[in-house]
Amino acid sequence: MPEPMERSQQDFLPYGRQSITEDDVAAVAEVLRGDWLTTGPALTRFEDDLASVSGAAGAVAVTSGTAALHTAYAAAGVGPGDEVVVSPMTFVATASTAVLRGARVVFADVEPDTGNLDVDAARTATGPRTRVVAAVDYAGHPARLDELATVARDADALLLEDAAHSVGGAWHGTPVGALAGLTTFSFFPTKNLTTAEGGAVVSPYEELLARARRFRNHGLVRDKAAQRRPDEGDWHQEVHEFGLNYRLPDVLAALGSSQLRRLAWFKQRRAEIHAAYDRGLADVDGVRTPVTRDGADPMWHLYPLRVLDGRRRALFGHLRGAGIGVQVNYVPVYWHPVFADLGYQRGLCPNAERFYADELSLPLWPGLADADVERVITEVRGFFSA
Ligand SMILES: *Cc1c(COP(=O)(O)O)cnc(C)c1O
C-alpha cells in the first residue's frame, strides 16, 4: 500500500478531501508523455476497471457526475412529456439534468432515517408518463434498489441510481452498478475516488451503454452499418440524435485507474472513521448517529450526524469556529429558487425537510488521522456538555 503524500500543514479540517499518492502522479505524467491525451488507451482501461468494480457490462466515462446524469437520462430516452421521479435529498444535479432534457421532475419523499428514496413514496409518484425513477445512495448507503427496481419496472420505467456517493458499495451482496438499469458516479475530489473532475455511467445493458457513448461524443455515428449515408466516404460520420462533448481526457482516466487500485483501502478507512464517530457520539443526548440497514454494505462518503432540538445551526457554527469544516447535505432540491419558480412548494416532502433541518456532515476522508477524528468527537461532546 503506497503511503498517501503528506497533506499540507493545516489546522482546518475540510469535510472531504482527495487522497493522492506518488503513484497517482506518475500515472498522470506517463500519459502526458505519450501520444493520447484523450480518448486513448487510458480511457479504455479506466472504463474496463470501472465495469469490473461495479459488476456492469461496461462503463462510459465522462467529465463530471453531472455529465454522467445528463448522459444517463439521454440514454434512457428522457425528453419532453416524460416524468422523472427523483429523491429530493441530493445535490441539485440529480434533478436539474432531467429538467434540461425537457422532462418534468416529480419529487418523492425519503425514509426518515437513511435519507434514501422511500419505496412507497416512489411508487405513489409514478404514473403513465414516468420514464425514470432516480434514487440516490445518500452518504454511501445503498437505497432499497431491488424494491425500487420493481417500482420502476411496474411503471414501465428505468431505475437510475445516482451513486455519486457509493462506488464500491453493495446491496445484499450485489455491487453498486449491477443493481439499476443505469448507475452514475462522480469523481470530484471530495468523492470516494477522484479524477479531479469526472464521472461515469455504468449499465448491465449494452444498448444503453451504446446510447450513452454516442451522447458523450456529439451523437456521432461511426458504424457504417448504422449510418443513413454509408457511401458518403470513409471520412463520414453522422449525427442522428443531439449529443455533447463530455469526453474524459486520458490524463484524468489514468488518475482514475490509479485511484481505483486503492478503492478497498479507501472503503476500509472510511468505515473505520465512521465507526469511530459512532462509538464516540452514540451516547450523546443531543444527537443521533446514522443507521445501517441489514443487507447494506455502504461505501461511507459522508457521516451524516443528526442534531436534535434545533441545535444544528449552533453546532455548525461551533465546529466551524474550531476549524472543523462541517457541511450540510442537502437542502431539499425543490427549495432551490429555480424549482420554486416552477411551482414546487415547501412541505412537498416532509421527511426530507426534517432530515435537512438537523443534518450535519462531519469530516470523512481516508487521510484523516485518528487524532483528527478524536478532535472532532471532543469538540462535539464539548458543545453538548457546555
Ligand atoms: C457530487 C454529486 C453529483 C454531481 O457530481 P459532479 O461530479 O460534482 O458534477 C451528483 N449527485 C450527487 C448525489 C453528488 O453528490
Determine the straight-line distance between the first and last CA of the chain, rounded to whole angstroms. Answer: 42
**Low pLDDT (below 70) residues in the chain:** 1-10
Q: Which three cell numbers stand for residue 69?
A: 446524469
Residue 386 has what pLDDT?
83
Pick the CATH number of 22-260 from 3.30.1050.10, 2.40.440.10, 3.40.190.10, 3.40.640.10: 3.40.640.10
CB 191, CB 199: distance < 8 Å: no
Residue 3 has what pLDDT?
56
Q: For the chain, what are the domain ranges?
A: 22-260, 263-385
Cis preceding-peptide flag for 356 (omega within 30 of 0): no
Q: Quick one: fold of 263-385?
A: Aspartate Aminotransferase, domain 1 (3.90.1150)
Q: Which three cell numbers stand for residue 131?
A: 420514464
CB 84, CB 73: distance < 8 Å: yes
Domain 22-260 and domain 263-385, same fold? Reply is: no
How many Cβ atoms are within 10 Å of 16's Cβ, its own excluded?
19
Q: Is residue 162 in contact with ligand 1, taking CB distance under 6 Å?
A: yes
Q: Is residue 277 in contact with ligand 1, taking CB distance under 6 Å?
A: no
Distance 320 CA to ligand 1 centre (A): 23
Residue 11 has what pLDDT?
77
For CA atoms 209, 212, 216, 217, the dihedral sign is: positive
- pLDDT tens digit string along 106-157? 999 999 999 999 999 999 999 999 999 999 999 999 999 999 999 999 999 9
Q: Which ligand 1 atom lies nearest to the CA of residue 64?
A: 7
Q: Is residue 115 in contact with ligand 1, taking CB distance under 6 Å?
A: no
- pLDDT tens digit string along 40-85? 999 999 999 999 999 999 999 999 999 999 999 999 999 999 999 9
Of the candidates 250, 252, 251, which has an alpha carbon nearest to the alpha carbon of residue 39? 250
Residue 289 has what pLDDT?
98
Residue 9 has what pLDDT?
42
Residue 93 has what pLDDT?
98
3-class state of residue 146 by DSSP: helix
Q: Is residue 65 in contact with ligand 1, taking CB distance under 6 Å?
A: yes
